[in-house]
Structure 1
């Protein structure tokens, strides 16, 4: 059974339908990258799939249960969501922000989980620092730590590497991939197609609210799809023991 199953999902932003009949599966032990041009509907699809945006038709299922019928507490224990927006309202210490990922644990247990998650992203030394005193990249890693502190089996992250330096981008995607390798499931939106191709087990290409390609990176990001959807000319090259995607404007 897929951990997340999206079936014929439709969603609107105001009067405009921005997600149209999407079907997508995210099974255990897979990291799925959702890619597409700006305005393709990626964030709305992720919000709707997580039960955070109204679905006008179709459904999203978490472990076989319709998402809106899953108790809120159970949903938060089984699904962790990182939004694209990184605004924080209070200048709390980084540790306290990370610990918010475990709201149903006792305070000591939540802080321990937060501390472990900060260490996972190499920022345990910032535990006592106000998030308002951190750089944008450091703050982004604190929020990633909050996501991992949920210890949820399904992690959904909307543009998690935006604003991170190259080393931190690789660290973030390695941690997400490790989560899937350990039996979890990951759905992540990315704009960097080379990173999606490198780290994801599957890539789903969304264009104008519809999935136009879904499969292993080399199949989903074919030259035809890249030219049609993104206006890119691309090729796959051998680099050591990896195949990497090189793209340029067509």
Structure 2
């Protein structure tokens, strides 16, 4: 089932084309890593898909009403400093707002979901702590939990693992992969090509003003495409512990 359909999408900012003629479909069960060099337009592409930026072409999400969009896709932007002195539990519970009538208290079933997400992200010890007093990595995990609590068919996140330590980067990627395996879909921008190769089911390589490659990680992270898009050499192979991708040198 298609959860996002994009046709001939293009964005121009400050009279400069960022990308054009971008088309793809995102289906249930996919964990898509959006990769590309700095400035390729990864954030811009996701924001345009969500209808947050003026764009040419069509996006099925931007055609939805705001209420329908909030029940269809959870969005985690790159900026994630929490300034509000409210508890982590309250931050996570905010993810349930699109599903509740205005002014309604959190029902018991929603409370169970919030508790489960807090545990899944390893935040039980921080439940009652003011989110504004957490470290940057802990705040990132709280906001990931809020997005998960929204419980939408599609989750879109802009560099959600940036700033996390290696253990939490891996565990977050595992959570996102499990979401996809459970029949929903995840699209995230990511710079760590090793984690993308290991956990994503599909990669979209944005470069040179459009989609340079789209497919399984082993078909996108080829020596030729990696050199062309990123200007590097890399080692990519299958091991008994799974696929490994290691950047080596600048070419």
**TM-score over 0.5 (shorter chain):** yes
Question: What's the CA shift for 1:161?
Answer: 0.4
Moved more, 136-145 or 83-92: 83-92
Contact 2:205 2:213 in 1 (8 A): yes
Identify unmatched segments of 5+ residues in structure 1: 62-66
Which string of whole-angstrom CA distances, capped at 9 and with x for unpartnered residues, describes residues 118-159 of structure 1?
A: 111011221110111111111000000000000001000110
Tell me which of 82, 95, 102 is aligned to 2:76.
82
Q: CA contact under 8 A between 1:115 and 1:127: conserved in structure 2?
A: no
SS of structure 2 residue aligned to 1:3: strand
SS at match of 1:163: coil
Contact 2:159 2:190 in 1 (8 A): yes
Question: Taking structure 2 as the reference length, what is the TM-score of the superposition?
Answer: 0.93
Aligned match of 2:18: 18
- In the other structure, the counterpart of 2:105 is 107
Deviation at 1:240, TM superposition (A): 1.0
Contact 1:194 / 1:245 at 8 angstroms: preserved in 2?
Answer: yes
* Stretches of structure 2 lacking an aligned partner (at least 5 in a row): none
Asked if structure 1 preserves the Cα contact closer than 8 Å seen for 2:7 and 2:58, the reply is yes
Question: Is residue 101–residue 150 contact of structure 1 (8 Å, CA) maintained in 2?
Answer: yes
Q: Whole-Å Cα distance in 1 between the matches of residues 63 and 150 of structure 2?
A: 20
Matched ranges for 1:165-184 at <5 A: 165-184=165-184
**Deviation digits for residues 83-107 of structure 1 (CA, Å, limit 9, x no counterpart):** 0111223121111111111113343
Moved over 6 A (4+): none
> CA separation in 1, counterparts of 2:21 and 2:85?
41
CA RMSD of aligned residues (A): 1.4
How many residues get paired?
244
